[in-house]
Amino acid sequence: MVALTAFFVLRGFLPGLQGNRLPPALETAIAEAYKRCEEDFPIQPGDVRMPTCDVIRAERIGEGRLPASAAAEGVTAVVCFRVELERLYWGESGPQKHEMAWAMRMVSKVGVLQGGRWTLFPDEEQADAARWVDYGCPGEYESSTSLEPRRS
């Protein structure tokens, strides 16, 4: 029982013990960076308003390779991940808003552990793509640069 408890405690601090999950502190940083809520999204035009927030999903792709330049700056770990964002909006047909729809955006990102804190980089398409290669992230860099309507 003690060994199992120690494993769960340590996996929050040691990236290698987390399996395919993102470190909890990195998940929190991602949620805070991408969280966007609207308090006045209308249920129906002219009706009572309801709050709505984007849906954020982050998927760990794998560990990256630590370049010597990053190690010299105090970076001790690299995690490569993808973030999917879904945003609720009103579809329009002419002057009337008539249906709620979702828009989706996906982006490949790199998070680095520096000084005991996970750091995210701003969303910049070219810099993100270059960072994906520089940190040796597994797989292809993927990104949809804007929120696009999701088709069912």
115 within some domain: yes
Domain count across the chain: 1
- Of 8-17, 18-27, 60-69, 138-147, the poorest mean pLDDT is in 8-17
Alpha helices in 35-124 (DSSP H): 68-72
* pLDDT score recorded for residue 114: 94
Q: Average model confidence (pLDDT) for the chain?
A: 79
* pLDDT score recorded for residue 51: 67
Mean pLDDT of 15-31: 80
3 within some domain: no
124 within some domain: yes
- Amino acid type, 30: I
34-71: pLDDT as tens digits: 988 876 655 566 665 666 788 899 999 999 999 999 99
For residue 4, name the pLDDT band (cuts at 50, 70, 90): very low
For residue 88, name the pLDDT band (cuts at 50, 70, 90): confident
Query: CA of 24: how far to CAs of 15, 19, 50, in Å?
Result: 10, 12, 30
Q: Select the more confidently predicted residue: 18 or 80.
A: 80
105 within some domain: yes
Backbone angles phi and psi of 101, in degrees to 5 = -140, 165
12 within some domain: no
116 within some domain: yes
101-135: pLDDT as tens digits: 677 889 999 999 999 999 999 989 999 999 999 99
11 within some domain: no
* pLDDT score recorded for residue 93: 57
6 within some domain: no
Domain that holds residue 68: 19-149
Nearest to 104 by CA among 60, 63, 54: 54
Mean pLDDT of 64-90: 90
